């Protein structure tokens, strides 16, 4: 996907301008892709929860047959997989490395703090 987007951008100008245009287009594409994937996860998770709730309500009134029990097992497995992926995503996004190493005035902490400062700065 990255290669296709990178090769698809054609801009006239200096090599630096071409590189900047390609990076800009790639960044836009990846943002859109991430939103699409995130939306698909949310939609699939909601559908799984709805189906599982239907099966649970049905199980309160009637015994579930073998196929329904198997379907419930498969749905629970897929839901657990989605929840693990979501947890991993938030684990990575939360910069847990910072929490583990703490802010004990280490060189790592100061580099991290200064990097965040410069990242949010408007020149």
Distance, in Å, from the CA atom of 18 to the CA atom of 39, rounded to the nearest integer, reads: 32
Backbone dihedral region for residue 12 (phi beyond 0: left; psi -120 to 50: alpha; all else: beta): beta
Q: How far is 57 from 36, CA to CA, in rounded Å?
A: 32
Whether 27 and 59 have beta carbons less than 8 Å apart is answered as no
**Cα 123 to Cα 77: distance, rounded to the nearest angstrom:** 49
Please indicate whether residue 34 or residue 100 has the higher confidence score (pLDDT). Answer: 34
Number of alpha carbons in the 13 Å side-chain half-sphere of residue 109: 8
4-8 long-range contacts, Cβ below 8 Å, gap at least 24? Answer: 5/29
What's the confidence (pLDDT) of residue 98? Answer: 59
Task: Tokens for 64, please give them.
Answer: 């579930």
Per DSSP, 13 falls in state S
For position 107, what pLDDT does the model report? Answer: 72
pLDDT band of 100, cuts 50, 70, 90: low
Answer yes or no: are the C-beta atoms of 72 and 64 closer than 8 Å: yes
Determine the structural domain holding residue 80 and report its residue range. Answer: 2-119
The band of 97, judged by pLDDT with boundaries at 50, 70 and 90, is low
This prediction's pTM: 0.55
Question: Are 109 and 103 contacting, i.e. CB atoms less than 8 angstroms apart?
Answer: yes
- For the stretch 13-56, pLDDT in tens is 898 998 999 999 999 998 888 888 888 888 999 999 999 999 99
What was the pLDDT predicted at 77? 95
Total structural domains within the chain: 1
């Amino acid at each position: 996907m990255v290669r296709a987007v990178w090769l698809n951008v054609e801009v006239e100008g200096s090599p630096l301008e071409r590189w900047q245009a390609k990076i800009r287009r790639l960044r836009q594409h990846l943002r859109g892709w991430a939103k699409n994937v995130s939306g698909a996860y949310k939609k699939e998770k909601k559908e799984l929860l709805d189906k599982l709730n239907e099966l649970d309500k049905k199980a309160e009134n009637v015994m579930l047959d073998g196929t329904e029990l198997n379907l419930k097992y498969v749905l629970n497995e897929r839901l657990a997989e989605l929840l693990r992926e979501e947890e991993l995503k938030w684990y990575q996004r939360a910069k847990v490395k910072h929490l583990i190493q703490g802010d004990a005035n280490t060189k790592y902490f100061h580099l991290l703090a200064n990097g965040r400062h410069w990242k949010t700065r408007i020149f």
